[in-house]
């Protein structure tokens, strides 16, 4: 079977599109203690460090996921909460300060730190 030049280019374009939409997930679990899974609605979604004492049980980072995905990852390992941070994102060239950026709610990477309260 002979593949034409256009067929080869088309194949590469399709492969590029599929890999561009894929998520990039990295998980790091700490300690040896395993906790029973929870329902994701029972895991707090936090945007900053809580005032209560806690132990970090895992870190997640991803491209292409949402804060709710971070909550689901944390629920699977029995975390009480997950601290979420977003990184990168879109911006307008004329808007230098993120607080005044019309694209400030966008992000290209997300991290979650799963915690267990003491």
Mean pLDDT of successive 10-residue segments in the chain (118 residues)?
Answer: 55 50 70 93 97 96 89 96 83 60 66 95
Range of the domain at 93: 24-117
pLDDT for the residue numbered 55: 95
**Could you tell me which residues come within 8 angstroms of residue 91 by beta carbon, excluding any fewer than 6 positions away?**
98, 101, 103
**pLDDT, position 42:** 98
Per the domain annotation, does 93 fall within a domain? yes
The count of C-alpha atoms lying within 13 angstroms of the C-alpha of 98, restricted to the half-sphere facing its C-beta, is 9
Q: pLDDT at position 6, please?
A: 54
Q: Does 12 reside within a domain?
A: no
Cite the beta strand spans of 8-70 per DSSP E.
24-29, 44-46, 54-63
Helix, strand or coil, per DSSP, at residue 40: helix
Identify whether the C-beta of residue 39 lies closer than 8 Å to the C-beta of residue 75.
Answer: yes
Tell me, yes or no, whether 107 lies in a domain: yes
8 Å CB contact between 31 and 79: no
* 2 falls within a domain: no
Q: In residues, how long is the chain?
A: 118
Say what the pLDDT of residue 63 is: 85
The answer to the question of residue 73 being in a domain is: yes
Question: How many separate domains does the chain show?
Answer: 1
The answer to the question of residue 9 being in a domain is: no
Task: Report if residue 5 sits inside a domain.
Answer: no
Q: Which pLDDT score is estimated for 100?
A: 58
Predicted pLDDT of residue 32: 85
69: in domain: yes
Pick from 49, 63, 68: which is nearest to 109 by CA? 63
């Amino acid at each position: 079977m002979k593949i034409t030049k256009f067929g080869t280019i088309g194949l590469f374009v399709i492969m590029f599109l599929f890999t561009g939409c894929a998520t990039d997930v990295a998980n790091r679990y700490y300690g040896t203690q395993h906790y029973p899974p929870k329902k994701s609605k029972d895991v707090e979604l936090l945007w900053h460090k809580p005032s209560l004492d806690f132990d970090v049980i895992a870190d997640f980072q991803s491209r292409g996921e949402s804060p709710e995905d971070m909550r689901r990852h944390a629920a699977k390992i029995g975390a009480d909460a997950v601290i979420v941070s977003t990184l990168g994102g879109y911006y307008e060239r004329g808007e230098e300060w993120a607080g005044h950026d019309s694209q400030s709610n966008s992000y290209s990477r997300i991290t979650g730190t799963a915690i267990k309260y003491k």
